[in-house]
Structure 1
């Protein structure tokens, strides 16, 4: 359970804040041509999408680590995390070519050399990773299956302030069924949930969570 409110923008330097402002502008421009995020939420993009994605920065991803964002869509959470953690290799995977092209174009405009978009189905991604992230992409059991197929150990134990290697994803609503299905398929996993409303201190995030799976 989370009790301390925190704002991820406090951890950003001036250049990173400017990148996020530019990302918001780019998303609005691209979203007119390609449906990357819901048209109903684009006016509140900073809260509903950027802040939501950056909730995953509540704990660190270690420098030199690798992360894959399954079903990145318009680059969420991949682009905000690539901005926040420039020393982490972030792979943005999606099966929709137009979305991957948009993410590639935004990454170039933002100068994100650590962001690597990839077009194809998650099951066919050829890389290796320490962390998997996602936002409303697939059930936990499916995400964990994708992660297990490509995960490798970190070369060194992470700092206690960092996430343990595994799945770190954004979810909403009643997760009891998803967690039960995951634990039936993979009995040895450890699942933790962290409520976003007290963490970010905003009513919009009621019923939204960070879910981690390790094991």
Structure 2
């Protein structure tokens, strides 16, 4: 069995366990992304994970575990690094417009190459600090690069009214949840089961400001 076949086998088994139903074309594109990441990683040090089989678990399956929580037609992935979870989520749902945000130049160079080589027409890359980025997104994803309060202070302006912020964390304390500032509200702390990963994972689902009620009494949705 070839190395690619082994990666395919682990990915398909993990997707079935999540469960996450993807077309074969999407599975192949996920593996293409992984091979590209592994190739660049030797020079650019984009990820501490070096083994490709571990990348399937720690990068692809770990990212796709949050897919059922994503809402809307636009998504911003803040502090995306080498495109996690943004690129796997974009491949899984090509109808959704995904914006990848990172301030690290070598990582955004990789991201632009990945978008080009994988023909990810629904993805754009923004190089810059989160607080300086503009836009309005139905959903925002962010791995735990800071506390919930700090993440929202820097990037909360990007969340559309009625949208959901998905903070991906290992664990979260009651104190951190209580510190989430208004008008944001914690809706749920959902445990994530990542096949093959013996580590605690959760997503904190945070609601943005309520949609504005217009003169007619109807809500103006994002």
Question: Could you tell me the TM-score, scaled by structure 2's length?
Answer: 0.79
Report the alpha carbon displacement of residue 9 of structure 1 after superposing the two structures with TM.
6.6
- Quote the residue 1:180 is aligned against: 178
CA deviation after TM superposition for structure 1 residue 210, in Å: 1.4
- RMSD of aligned C-alpha atoms? 2.3
Change over 3 Å in CA distance of 1:116–1:38 after alignment to 2: same
Q: Which runs of 5+ in 1 are unaligned?
A: 155-164
- Cα displacement string for residues 41-65 of structure 1 (whole angstroms, at most 9, x for unaligned residues): 6550000111001111124534xx1
Aligned to 1:192: 188
Q: Name the CA shift for 1:138/1:129 in 2 (closer, same or farther; >3 Å).
A: same
Determine which of 8, 33, 52 is the counterpart of 1:23: 33
Aligned to 1:158: none
CA distance, structure 2, for counterparts of residue 84 and residue 90 of structure 1: 11
How many residues matched?
194
Q: Which residue of 2 aligns with 1:32?
A: 42
Contact 1:61 1:85 in 2 (8 A): no
Cα 1:12–1:188 shift into 2, 3 Å: closer
Cα gap change, 1:61/1:84 in structure 2, threshold over 3 Å: closer, same or farther? farther
Aligned mates of 1:39, 1:72 — CA distance in 2: 16
1:163-207 CA-partner distances (Å, limit 9, x unpaired): xx220121003433321222xx3376123111123xx45452x42
Runs of 4+ residues over 3 Å off in structure 1: 5-10, 39-43, 59-62, 200-203
Q: Which residue of 1 aligns with 2:168?
A: 170
Contact 1:147/1:166 (8 A) holds in 2: no
Cα deviation, residue 71, structure 1: 0.2
Q: Per the alignment, in what secondary structure is the counterpart of residue 152 of structure 1? A: strand
- Asked whether the 8 Å contact 1:9–1:17 carries over to 2, the reply is no
**Distance 1:86-1:28 versus aligned 2 partners, 3 A rule:** same
| Structure-2 separation of matches of 1:73 and 1:115 | 14
